[in-house]
Amino acid sequence: MRMNALFDFYQSLLTPKQRNYMALYYLDDYSLGEIAEEFQVSRQAVYDNIKRTEQMIEEYEAKLLLFERYNKRQELFEELTEVLKQEDSNSKALTLIKSLEKLD
C-alpha cells in the first residue's frame, strides 16, 4: 500500500521505463516474469529495476515528505471534522486550521 501511494506522488520523477515497470508490478499486479516477457528482458533485470526504483522513491519521500504531509493533513482534517461536530469548537478548530496552514 505504501509503495502504491508513494508511486502516485513521485511517478512523474521517474523515467518512462521505471514508470512502466512500477505500474505493471504494483498497479496491474503483473509478475516479474510477465513484465520480463513483455519487455523482452530477464526477470532479474526487472527485479533490479523495480528495487532501484523503490529505493529512489523512498529517497524522494525522505527529502520531500509529500506522503507524510498528506497523511498528516488527512489526520488533521478528520480531527477538525470531529471538533466541528461538537458545540463550542471554535478555538480548537482555529488551532487545527493553523496546523494545516503550517504544513504547506
CATH code at position 35: 1.10.10.10
Let me know whether 49 and 6 are in one domain.
Answer: yes
Q: To which H or E segment does residue 71 belong?
A: helix 66-85
What is the distance between the alpha carbons of residues 69 and 24, in angstroms, rounded to a whole number? 27
Let me know whether 50 and 6 are in one domain.
Answer: yes
pTM over 0.85: no
Let me know whether 60 and 83 are in one domain.
Answer: no
Please give the tally of structural domains in the chain.
2
pLDDT of residue 23: 97
Let me know whether 60 and 14 are in one domain.
Answer: yes
List per-block mean pLDDT (blocks of 10 residues) for the chain, which spans 104 residues: 95 97 96 97 98 98 95 87 73 77 75
pLDDT of residue 87: 66
Let me know whether 60 and 72 are in one domain.
Answer: no
Let me know whether 56 and 16 are in one domain.
Answer: yes
pLDDT of residue 88: 65
